Amino acid sequence: MTSHDTSDRRRRLIRLSASSVVVLLALGLLASPRAEAADAPPAVGGWATYQWTSSVSQEVPVLVQEQTAGGQTTWSVAKESTPPPPIFVTYAIVRGDATTYVLQIVTHKTLDGPPLSTTQVTIDRATGKATKSVIQRPKGPIATPESGLRPFRRAAVKGADEAVAVPAGRFPAVRAPYQSGTVWVSDQVPALGLVKATFPNGQLELVKSGTTGAKDLLRS
């Protein structure tokens, strides 16, 4: 190969579609399943949707096209390190009684797309511990891990008052350390009470929420 061939060589990378999507795998590392104290039980029907943006890169296949000055084309497959696309997760309180409530966790590839997977965790109101966990998923997508996140209440976290802006708007909140990261908690947010959370492996931000209308996806 001459230096002229090398300088005239054109190189093109085409990213191939990944065979699977990372669905909140990192969220499973956010917190241990220990309970957070609360001054009031979460209300049934409330929901909140978040965008999870991972900071952990993954290797994906890319197709490499090379052309020489003589017009010959060669192809090869290489790997490229890139962050996975954002994923959306909706937390909702779909059932409850005097002693327990059911926290539903639904992941979506797009904001209003169909569920990738649905997890329902039955939580003891007194201890905040999970007594049962059920996962339903279509064939193919990765199941949602139980993240260990529990509903936060502003009065139950110790930190500084700090307004925070997220895609859902600007909220008065308490900024506090949590596990290996930081959370912003506001009682204005239904279900989880979480406005934003940052961790070494990514960031969770509130996109939209509602006080009613959560659908129980595992009960016919």
- Please report where in the chains the tokens 């939580």 appear, as a residue: 123
Token look-up 């020489």 returns: 68
- Whether 182 maps to a domain, the answer reads yes
How many angstroms separate the CA atoms of 119 and 105, rounded?
A: 5
Assess if residue 184 is contained within a domain: yes
Check: CB of residue 22 under 8 Å from CB of residue 109: no
Strand (E) or helix (H) holding 7: helix 3-8
The residues, any chain, with a CB within 8 Å of residue 138's CB and separated by 6 or more, are 115, 116, 117
Is residue 87 included in any domain, yes or no?
yes
What domain count does the chain have?
Answer: 1
DSSP state of 22: -
Does a structural domain hold residue 133?
Answer: yes
Residue 123: inside a domain, yes or no?
yes
Residue corresponding to tokens 């169909």: 114
Residue 137 lies in a domain: yes
Buried-exposed string 158-174: b where 16+ CB fall within 10 A, e elsewhere = ebeeeebebebeebebb
Residue-by-residue pLDDT tens, the chain, 220 positions: 444 443 344 444 444 333 333 334 344 433 333 334 444 668 899 999 999 998 876 665 667 677 777 777 777 776 766 777 889 999 999 999 999 999 999 999 999 899 888 899 999 988 888 888 888 766 544 445 566 788 998 888 899 999 999 999 999 999 999 888 999 999 999 999 999 999 988 899 999 999 999 999 988 5
Would residue 179 count as lying in a domain? Answer: yes
Phi, psi dihedral angles at 28 (to 5 degrees): -65, -15
Range of the domain at 194: 3-74+80-210
Within-domain flag for 219: no
How crowded is residue 209: how many other Cβ atoms within 10 Å of its Cβ?
21
